Amino acid sequence: RAQRRHKEMQGKGDTQITLEEVFDSLAHRDYADTTRVESPLVRAEDAIVLDNTELSPKEQLDFALTMVHRHMPV
């Protein structure tokens, strides 16, 4: 996620920020989101996790569509 965000920021001209800074920023935001008192960000019990670290966009879409078809009544 940090690599994707870093590449996106560089594409928009922000070439000064390092990958480590982006990673730290995301980690800080994730911590704040999951530990806030009101409406903390939590994963639903029945959530399906799509780890797209090593997946191409097509593989991500294929996985998502498979999960939709598997879990949606027809």
Q: Which domain holds residue 74?
A: 44-74
Q: Mean pLDDT throughout 50-71?
A: 93
| pLDDT at 25 (0 to 100) | 96
| pLDDT at 44 (0 to 100) | 93
Number of domains in the chain: 2
Question: Do 53 and 23 lie in a common domain?
Answer: no
Question: Do 36 and 65 lie in a common domain?
Answer: no
Average pLDDT, rounded, for the chain? 93
Question: Do 6 and 37 lie in a common domain?
Answer: yes
- Which residue, chain included where needed, has tokens 């879409």? 61
Residue 40, phi then psi, degrees to nearest 5: -65, 150
Question: Do 31 and 1 lie in a common domain?
Answer: yes
* Angle 30-33-35 from CA coordinates, rounded to 5°: 105
| pLDDT at 37 (0 to 100) | 95
pLDDT of 74 strictly over 80: no
Residue 46, phi then psi, degrees to nearest 5: -100, 20
Dihedral of CA atoms 48, 65, 3, 34 in degrees, nearest 10, equals -30
**In the structure encoding, which two tokens stand for residue 11, read together?**
């594409």
Give the pLDDT confidence of 24-40 residue by residue, as tens digits: 999 999 999 999 999 99
pTM for this prediction: 0.65
Question: Do 48 and 38 lie in a common domain?
Answer: no
